[in-house]
Amino acid sequence: FSEVLQTKRLALRRTRPATLCLQLMTLSIFSRCDKFAARRKEGNMNYQRVVPDTGRYLSRIGISEPVTVDIMGLNRLIQAHLTHVPFEALDVWGKGTVPSLDIGDLYQKIVRDNRGGYCFELNSLFCALLKDLGFEAYLVIASLLDEAGEPAPPAHSAIICCLDGQKYFVDVGFGGPVP
């Protein structure tokens, strides 16, 4: 996977009514996990928790037991999020407003108001949760490709999560993890 990431593009096939490809614009993501690992080893991880209440967020997605910071824990979190939080773009398409991407506002909407969101909202809040739980994760921008392989402008958000030197593509606003 990291060899593919170093090419700065990744196309993943999805089976949907209209087959789409997801092209990941990585820029320099292949080195980010190495930087996270080095900072963690040196004890330079000065991360401030940003999710107002991780316990309530975990409860919202149906998790009541501790989560391990490994691939099993990551998959458990993704599965729980995908089954409890819907994809919805009601604010964007229904109201014509641009939703806030502030973590506090996203927490209010998705956790307290028991709503869903679109890719930027869902992945931004989920990435903050992953970091708060101890995962090394960061957001990336991606674009959808049509069946002919023509890319649209980058307009999709996803997450890269680094575990044991392996990079995982995480997307709770479109799909799941990829080894």
Residues composing the chain: 179
Neighbours of 89 (CB within 10 A): 14
Task: Give backbone dihedrals phi and psi of 140, rounded to 5 degrees, phi first.
Answer: -130, 165
Sheet of 156-163, strand order: 11-14, 20-25, 136-145, 156-163, 166-170
The type of residue at 58 is: L
Q: Which of the residues are catalytic?
A: 119, 156, 171
CA-wise closest residue to 23 among 144, 174, 156: 144
